[in-house]
Structures are given as C-alpha cells and as structure tokens.
C-alpha cells in the first residue's frame, strides 16, 4: 500500500535535524535512501546508520548546474530515484529589514528556492525521459502563512515561494504522473529555533503559543512526509500539509 519498498528516495538536508529523521522513516518503509548534504562525512555517517542499501552524496545545492550530475550519480549507485524530498534549507535571521544584505538574501533564496527548483527539474527530467511516475515533497514553513517573526522575513518569503512553486509544479507535472506536495513545520526544537541564545522563558512562551503544548520534534515530521511521498497519497497533489501542533490553523 505504501509502495516505497525498493524505491530510491533522495533526501536533501538528509544529515540535518529533520532530514535525518525523514531518512530513517523512508529506510523503515523499505526505500533506498540517497542522503544529500554539504559534508560527505555527515552523509556517509547518516547513510551507514540507516543500514544496508543506502548511500551518501555530498553536494552544495547552490551549485545548480551540477544538479543533473548529482541525480545521475544517485541513479547509477541506487537506481532511478522516483521520490525527491527537499528538506535542505537555511535561515539567516535579521530583525532589521533596513540592514538585510544582498548576501543574506541570495544565500536563502539560493538554497531554499533556486536549488529546490533546479533539483526538482533535474529529478523530473529523468522521470519524464523514462516515462516513470514519482513524487516530490518540498519543505516550507508556517512562515509562509504568518509572515514570520524573529527576523525571518526574507526566509519566509522563500518559503512562501516554495509553497507557490509546489502548487505550480503539481499542476505542470500531474499529467506526467509526478505528484508534488509539501510539509510546513511550525516551531521545531532544533538549533534553527532553540540554541545557546534562547532562554527557558522564551521556550516556555513558544510552548504556550502551541495548542498541543510542546515544540515539534524532528520525528514529528516523518509521518506526513513519508505519507505524501507514498502511494497512500496517490490522489494528493499540490497540498501543503501543516505540521505545527496547531500553532497556526488554515
Ligand atoms: P538543519 O539546519 O538541521 O538541516 C538543514 C540541512 O540542510 C543541514 O544539514 C545543512 O547542512 C543542509 N544544507 C544547507 N545548505 C545546504 C546546501 N547549500 N547544500 C546542501 N545541503 C545544505 O534544519 P532543520 O531544522 O532540520 O530544517 C529542515 C527544513 O525544515 C528546512 O527547510 C527548514 O527551513 C524547515 N523548517 C524548520 C523549522 C525549524 O524550526 N527547525 C521550522 C520550519 C521549517
């Protein structure tokens, strides 16, 4: 029913907090996972922890001209990938819009949006060329609805664009049998949100804003992600699934 047994699944940001949990979810579902992240060592370690049949592929996703080659390397090692999960993303907080730099703008747009688009393109090109159906799951953020807080205005603009892009790709590729959906996490207990600068009072305030009463954990995103990628979601495309403990409801 899930239809993921033996499928090759690409997870970008696979050595990160949420990405690693997502890799574990796909491995448990019987897929062969291609772990993509910046460091080869971190990718290899994650792939090895998943067990046999998985592999790590280091790539700086900002180098978009190399993405077709990345997909080709994955295909020659693990077989044609039919699931792509774009988890990689960066946030460069700057609470003062008057001080946002071009470098901050470019880095967030390059990783969160440009790389996501061109990796989807390279992935879909192989599916179209071989007449193979597949699915894509793109990571957005609650910020696409809220506009965000804490210096995340530019980041949230990229995540709004990811949501729009997810819908556009879903329409464009539906006839090719490629479904495109997304996951929008809320407040997740990762270094992106909670770090050395965060006080217990700030954490308590965040928790109080969440109806389910706690911050999200990386593992909380696995179910929605694996489901959307799987045959169980065969009639879903263009959906952005809200995984936020009720932080926002829409
Ligand atoms: P994370 O920083 O732990 O993981 C992101 C991974 O992406 C890292 O391993 C990083 O090395 C990788 N990456 C960054 N730039 C890259 C590049 N140029 N090439 C290849 N890999 C690159 O972050 P996370 O908390 O696991 O977040 C995962 C996703 O969820 C992101 O898209 C993020 O925007 C989204 N999200 C997170 C939160 C949160 O609170 N943590 C909330 C909403 C949305």
Q: What is the CATH number of the domain that holds 70?
A: 3.40.50.720
User: What's the whole-number mean pLDDT along residues 143-158?
Assistant: 89
Q: Please report, to the nearest 10 degrees, the dihedral formed by the alpha carbons of residues 122, 228, 166, 15 taken in order.
A: -60
C-alpha of residue 18 to centroid of ligand 1, in Å = 7
The reply to whether 250 falls in a domain is no
Q: Is residue 157 part of a domain?
A: yes
Mean pLDDT value across residues 121-138: 98
Residues β-bridged to residue 240? 182
How far does residue 183's CA lie from ligand 1's centre (Å)?
13
Instruction: Give the CB-side neighbour count of residue 175, counting CA atoms within 13 A.
Output: 3
Nearest atom in ligand 1 to 89's CA: 32
Pairing of strands 8-12, 55-58: unpaired
> Would residue 152 count as lying in a domain?
yes
Whether residue 149 is predicted with pLDDT greater than 80 in this model: the reply is no
Mutate to test the pocket of ligand 1, among 90, 146, 162 (most ligand atoms within 8 A of CB): 90
pLDDT of residue 155: 96
Burial class (CB in 10 A: 0-12, 13-18, 19+), 95: exposed
Q: How far is CA 168 from the centre of its chain?
A: 17
Q: Quick one: tokens of 123? A: 């992935």
Model pTM score: 0.98
pLDDT band for position 193 (cuts 50, 70, 90)? confident
Write down the pLDDT at residue 207.
Answer: 95
Is residue 191 scored above 90 in pLDDT? no
Q: What is the pLDDT of residue 164?
A: 98
As for how many domains the chain has, the answer is 1
- Chain mean pLDDT for the chain: 96
Tokens of 9: 């699944």
What percent of the chain is modeled with pLDDT above 70?
100
In a domain, 200, yes or no: yes
pLDDT at residue 132 is higher than 80: yes
28 belongs to a structural domain? yes
Confirm whether 249 is domain-assigned: no
pLDDT tens digits along 203-222: 999 999 999 999 999 999 99
Domain interval for residue 17: 8-243
Out of 15, 18, 156, mutate this one to test ligand 1's pocket (max ligand atoms within 8 Å of CB): namely 18
Weakest-pLDDT range from 37-51, 117-131, 142-156, 228-242: 142-156
Nearest to 47 by CA among 69, 74, 68: 74
When pLDDT is cut at 50, 70 and 90, the band that residue 196 belongs to is confident
Q: What is the dihedral of CA 194, 199, 201, 202, to 10 degrees?
A: -40
Is there a domain that residue 56 lies in?
yes
Choose the weakest-confidence range: 44-53, 63-72, 162-171, 185-194.
185-194
Q: Each residue of 34-93: pLDDT tens digit?
A: 999 999 999 999 999 999 999 999 999 999 999 999 999 999 999 999 999 999 999 999
By CB atoms closer than 10 A (0-12, 13-18, 19+), residue 105 is middle
192 pLDDT more than 90: no
According to the model, what pLDDT value does residue 59 have?
98
Do residues 238 and 166 lie in contact, with contact meaning Cβ atoms separated by under 8 Å?
yes
Determine whether 235 is an active site residue: no
What are the tokens at 163? 């949501």
Q: Is 89 in the pocket of ligand 1 (CB under 6 A)?
A: yes
Average pLDDT (165-193) is: 96
Q: At what angle do helices 67-78 and 115-130 cross, to 10 degrees?
A: 50
Residue 60 in contact with residue 38, Cβ under 8 Å? yes
Looking at the chain, the number of H-run helices and the number of E-run strands are: 9, 7
**pLDDT of the residue at 194:** 87
- The answer to whether residue 149 sits within a structural domain is yes
Asked if residue 24 lies in contact with residue 51, where contact means CB atoms within 8 angstroms, the answer is no
């Amino acid at each position: 029913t899930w239809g993921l047994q033996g499928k090759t699944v690409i997870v970008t940001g696979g050595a990160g907090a949420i990405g690693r949990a997502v890799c574990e979810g796909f491995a448990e579902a019987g897929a062969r996972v291609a772990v993509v992240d910046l460091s080869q060592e971190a990718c290899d370690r994650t792939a090895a922890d998943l067990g046999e049949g998985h592999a790590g592929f280091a790539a700086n996703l900002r180098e978009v001209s190399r993405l077709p080659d990345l997909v080709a390397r994955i295909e020659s090692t693990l077989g044609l990938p039919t699931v792509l999960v774009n988890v990689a993303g960066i946030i460069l907080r700057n609470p003062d819009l008057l001080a946002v730099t071009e470098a901050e703008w470019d880095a967030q747009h390059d990783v969160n949006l440009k790389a996501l688009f061109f990796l989807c393109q390279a992935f879909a090109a192989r599916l179209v060329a071989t007449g193979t159906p597949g699915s894509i799951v793109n990571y957005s953020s609650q910020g696409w609805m809220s506009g965000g807080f804490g210096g995340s205005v530019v980041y949230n603009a990229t995540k709004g664009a990811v949501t729009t892009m997810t819908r556009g790709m879903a329409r464009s590729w539906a006839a090719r049998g490629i479904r495109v959906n997304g996951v929008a996490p809320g407040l997740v207990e990762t270094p992106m949100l909670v770090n050395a600068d965060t006080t217990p009072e700030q954490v308590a305030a965040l928790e109080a804003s969440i109806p389910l009463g706690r911050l999200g954990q990386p593992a909380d995103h696995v179910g929605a992600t694996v489901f959307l990628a799987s045959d169980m979601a065969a009639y879903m495309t263009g959906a952005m699934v809200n995984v936020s403990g009720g932080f926002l409801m829409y």
